[in-house]
Amino acid sequence: MYEYHSEIKKLLDEVVDKNSFVLDKVIDLVSRTVINDEIIHTFGTGHSHMIGLELFARAGGIANVNAMLDSTVMTSEGARRSAEIERISGFAKVIWDQHKIEKNDIFFIISNSGRNAMPIEMAQLAKNNSNKVIAITSIDQSSKYPSRIKNQKKLYEIADYVIDNCVPSGDSIIPIGKDFSGAVSSILGCFIVNLIVTESLKLVYKKGKKLPLFYSQNIDGISNEELFSKYENRVKHL
User: What average pLDDT does range 131-135 have in this prediction?
Assistant: 98
CA–CA dist 135, 165 (Å, integer): 10
The confidence score (pLDDT) of residue 89 equals 85
pLDDT at 147: 85
pLDDT digits (tens, 9 = 90+) for 181-229: 999 999 999 999 999 999 999 999 999 999 999 999 888 988 999 999 9
Stretch 109-134: mean pLDDT, rounded?
94
User: How confident is residue 175, by pLDDT bands cut at 50, 70 and 90?
Assistant: very high
CA–CA separation, 149 and 87 (whole Å): 8
Q: Kindly state the average pLDDT of the residues 103-113.
A: 95
pLDDT at position 162 over 90: yes
Residue 84, pLDDT score: 83
> Does the model's pTM come out above 0.85?
yes
pLDDT digits (tens, 9 = 90+) for 43-54: 998 888 899 999
Domains and CATH numbers, the chain: 3-231 (3.40.50.10490)
Residue of 71, 40, 75 whose CA lies nearest to 54:
40
Could you tell me whether strands 65-67 and 132-137 are parallel, antiparallel, or unpaired per DSSP bridges? unpaired
What's the whole-number mean pLDDT along residues 109-133? 94
CA atoms within 13 A on the CB side of 171: 15
| Average pLDDT of span 83-88 | 81
pLDDT higher than 80, residue 28: yes
